Amino acid sequence: MSGITRTQKITTVAAAVTAALTGYSTAEAQLEEIIVTAAKKSQNLQDIAGSVQAISENELKRNQVVTLEDYAKLIPSLSYVNYLPGTGKVYFRGIADDNGTFISEESVAMYIDEQPVTQSGIMVDVRMVDINRLEALSGPQGSLYGSSAQSGTLRIITNKPDPSGFEANVDVTMKASA
């Protein structure tokens, strides 16, 4: 006769399953709710039918995102090529337009809040200061964002003014060249 009875085995298994389920429900309850405005109205990120990737302000600070090149490292469907200081090219899903000539239309639309900043041939590299969140909408977005959103749309949402207090941010960058 073994030292463990059938009842003890069942009780042990039931306790283990209960503990696992409790841990699972606790982890599920701690998911951060991200509200995006990708479809021109505020929605929970999980309720949107399209491909939207959003990065919150806390995530941007944690990853020290300063340029679009830094941001592109966090989004799998987005690529960024830096041409000159302050300028570059954003690509979604590897879809490129006509090598950045001034007569071609961009395949990626870029917005700061609701203002389009898309230019023919090259995109401005926006310094990521006072940003609330970034939204990357992969795939054609022409119905909401116009003809320059053939491969995707990049939306930079800034923080809204807060008249209740003062807040400032300072950073310094040094580069040593040999």
What is the domain-level CATH number for residue 154?
2.170.130.10
With respect to residue 163, please indicate whether it lies within any of the assigned structural domains: no
Q: Is residue 114 one of the residues assigned to a domain? A: yes
| Helix, strand, or coil (residue 131) | strand
Rounded CA gap, 145 and 108, in Å? 10
Higher pLDDT, 133 or 13: 133
Tell me the mean pLDDT in the region 60-65.
85
pLDDT at position 69 is 82
Quick one: pLDDT at residue 156?
86
- Rounded to an integer, what distance in angstroms lies between the CA atom of residue 152 and that of residue 51? 10
- The residue written with tokens 């040999």 in the block is 178
- 29 within a domain of the structure (yes/no): no
Total residue length of the chain:
178
Q: For the chain, how many structural domains are there in total? A: 1
In this prediction, what percent of the chain has a pLDDT beyond 90?
A: 1
Could you tell me the residue range of the domain that residue 50 belongs to?
36-158
Predicted confidence at residue 85, as pLDDT, reads: 72
Residue 3, pLDDT score: 63
Question: Do the domain assignments include residue 45?
Answer: yes
Work out the average pLDDT over 138-160.
75
Domain assignment present for 116: yes
Is residue 40 a part of any domain in this protein?
yes
Does residue 81 lie in a domain region?
A: yes
Residue 145 and residue 151: Cα distance in Å, rounded? Answer: 11
42/28 Cα distance (integer angstroms):
22
pTM over 0.85: no
- Is 149 inside a domain boundary? yes
